[in-house]
């Protein structure tokens, strides 16, 4: 196995700065690279805020926080940032054209020993690996937002990724205190986003179809499906630009995966990108971290069976297509999205028969993309 000592994170946005912090917290020296020092300054401010939260909650001491902070070196010069790096984690915006440019430049400077990992949330790993001179040493390492708190990392080998790289990735993920789930096939959305992204759109359709409010849906998602946040709240928290890009990518690969609701594009076109711009589905006051007020009383007003059905159907697709096991789905949703209840446990509470029936009803009204997956049809309650 390849022993990782020095790490370079490319891109200092929401994911990049968080991943750099996670690595520094595990004792690694990290170079955080971005194209402008003003972006790096903002990223380091966010790291400071996060570390101060962890100190406040007594997860680490102030002395440890200071040491962690100093393990992160900001760098604008790409060549310098790649010097002596064992593992490169690319977390630049989700645009294949941009990634192409980044990997062409990286290939000029990276040392022979450097393994490449992309934190892409939906782009095809095999295609990105092919942009580089080392496809056998290229892998997907997908962290979840906020990386400092979410314990999951999806590991996605491309078609050409060798076993040595997979083993190194598994070992690295555990060394940074995270839990890996192997996504056996390079499918659109991997595991979590295959469930999460279509759910955002479905919730937007439910607003109209069921004539309910956002907080009713969100409260039901939180109190009846075990999510830590409502789905619109989570979309705003993730960033609607991120959701939109992931949607477009998934839809371009297969139109049956996700049924884009126009509201997301409208919000993105108006630059209402969620919490970070002060407005998305909800409005925010501009604080670093804000939550929407969701209540059990509001939850009582809405039955989220369509949302349970659509998430379970996408999970079922992953299982019947041998992308991962049912246990992997439950683990990924628990550690990547903070679900407090297993998805299939929720399906059992709503009744497998009712869920399948709901999908059939939706298929007859809205199209065959809702047809229940074979795994769900033959699912036996415990
Ligand atoms: N670092 C340190 N502390 C942080 C933090 C960070 N980055 N972000 C938030 N916190 C703090 C909060 O400020 C809060 O502190 P206070 O108590 O002092 O206010 C504390 O953590 C806990 O927050 P909450 O009280 O709001 O509690 P919570 O139990 O809901 O936990 C959460 C917060 C972990 C974010 C939880 O809501 C959660 O798991 N949400 C779902 C997140 C999710 O689904 N992520 C995946 C999105 S999809 C994705 O990332 C993939 C993709 O490719 C698009």
Is 382 part of any domain? no
Residue 219 structure tokens: 């409260």
Domain CATH for 61 = 3.40.50.720
Cα of 149 vs centre of ligand 1, distance in Å, is 6
* Whether residues 58 and 207 fall in one domain: no
With a cut of 90, say whether residue 270 has pLDDT above it: yes
Tell me: the pLDDT tens digits for 67-77?
999 999 999 99
Burial 208-241 (b: 16+ CB within 10 A, else e): eeeebebbbbbbbbbbbbbbebbbbbbbbbbbbb
User: Number of folded domains in the chain?
Assistant: 2
Tell me: the pLDDT tens digits for 165-194?
999 999 999 999 999 999 999 999 999 999
* Whether residues 330 and 213 fall in one domain: yes
* Whether residues 114 and 21 fall in one domain: yes
Angle (CA) 195 275 286, round 5°: 165
Is 144 part of any domain? yes
Domain CATH for 205 = 1.10.1040.50
Question: How distant, in Å, are the alpha carbons of 86, 113, 142, 285, 364 from that of 170?
Answer: 15, 18, 12, 40, 43
Instruction: Pick from 54, 119, 143, 146 the residue to mutate for probing ligand 1's pocket: most ligand atoms within 8 Å of its CB.
Output: 146
* Whether residues 167 and 214 fall in one domain: no
Non-local (6+) Cβ contacts of 12 within 8 A are 20, 32, 33, 34, 39, 40, 42, 43, 74
* Whether residues 68 and 203 fall in one domain: no
* Whether residues 112 and 87 fall in one domain: yes
Residue 373: the pLDDT is 97
* Whether residues 105 and 214 fall in one domain: no
Give ligand 1 pocket residues (Cβ under 6 A).
Answer: 50, 53-54, 121, 144-146, 148-150, 193, 196, 228-229, 234, 238, 242, 246, 289, 291, 336-338
Is 187 part of any domain? no
* Whether residues 134 and 233 fall in one domain: no
* Whether residues 225 and 137 fall in one domain: no
* Whether residues 156 and 230 fall in one domain: no
Tell me: the pLDDT tens digits for 82-139?
999 999 999 999 988 999 999 999 999 999 999 999 999 999 999 999 999 999 999 9
Range of the domain at 274: 192-377
pTM, to two decimals: 0.95
CA nearest neighbour of 14 among 267, 319, 238, 252: 238
Residue 78: the pLDDT is 98
227 near 336, Cβ under 8 Å? no
Tell me: the pLDDT tens digits for 240-250?
999 999 999 99
* Whether residues 227 and 96 fall in one domain: no
Q: How confident is residue 380, by pLDDT bands cut at 50, 70 and 90? A: confident
With a cut of 90, say whether residue 3 has pLDDT above it: no
* Whether residues 224 and 320 fall in one domain: yes
Ligand 1: which residue has its CA nearest to atom 18?
53
Tell me: the pLDDT tens digits for 16-71?
999 999 999 999 999 999 999 999 999 999 999 999 999 999 999 999 999 999 99
Is 75 part of any domain? yes
Burial 6-40 (b: 16+ CB within 10 A, else e): bbbbbbbbbbbbbbbbbbbbbebbbbbbbeeeebb
Cα of 195 vs centre of ligand 1, distance in Å, is 19
Cα of 146 vs centre of ligand 1, distance in Å, is 6
In angstroms, the CA 271 to CA 241 distance is: 9
């Amino acid at each position: 196995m390849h022993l990782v000592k020095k790490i370079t994170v490319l891109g200092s946005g929401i994911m990049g700065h968080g991943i750099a912090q996670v690595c520094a917290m595990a004792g690694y020296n990290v170079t955080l690279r971005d194209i402008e020092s003003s972006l790096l300054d903002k990223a380091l401010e966010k790291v400071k805020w996060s570390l101060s939260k962890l100190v406040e909650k007594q997860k680490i001491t102030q002395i440890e926080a200071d040491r962690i902070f100093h393990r992160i070196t900001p760098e604008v010069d790409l060549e310098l940032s790649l010097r002596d790096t064992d593992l490169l984690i690319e977390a630049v915006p989700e645009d294949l054209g941009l990634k192409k440019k980044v990997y062409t430049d990286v290939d000029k400077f990276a040392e022979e020993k450097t393994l490449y990992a992309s934190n892409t949330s939906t782009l095809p790993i095999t295609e990105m690996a092919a942009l580089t001179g080392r496809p056998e040493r290229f892998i997907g390492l997908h962290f979840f937002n906020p990386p400092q708190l979410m314990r999951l990392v999806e590991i996605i080998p491309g078609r050409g990724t060798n076993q040595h790289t997979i083993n190194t990735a598994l070992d690295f993920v555990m060394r940074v205190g995270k839990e890996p789930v192997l996504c056996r096939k390079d499918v659109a959305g991997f595991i979590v986003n295959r469930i999460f992204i279509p759910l955002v759109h479905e919730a937007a359709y439910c607003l109209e179809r069921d004539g309910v409010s956002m907080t009713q849906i969100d409260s039901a998602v939180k109190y009846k499906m075990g999510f830590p946040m409502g789905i619109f709240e989570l979309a705003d928290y993730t960033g609607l630009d991120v959701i939109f890009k992931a949607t477009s990518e998934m839809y371009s690969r297969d139109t049956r995966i996700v049924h884009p609701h126009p509201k997301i594009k409208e919000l993105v076109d108006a630059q209402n990108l969620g919490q970070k711009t002060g407005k998305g589905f909800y409005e925010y006051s501009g604080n670093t971290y804000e939550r929407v007020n969701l209540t059990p009383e509001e939850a009582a007003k809405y039955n989220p069976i369509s949302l349970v059905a659509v998430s379970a159907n996408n999970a079922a697709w992953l299982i019947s297509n041998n992308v991962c096991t049912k246990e992997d789905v439950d683990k990924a949703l628990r550690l990547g999205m903070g679900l407090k209840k297993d998805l299939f446990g929720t399906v059992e509470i709503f009744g497998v028969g009712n869920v399948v029936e709901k999908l059939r009803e939706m298929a007859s009204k809205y199209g065959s993309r809702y047809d229940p997956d074979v795994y769900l049809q033959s699912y036996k309650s415990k």
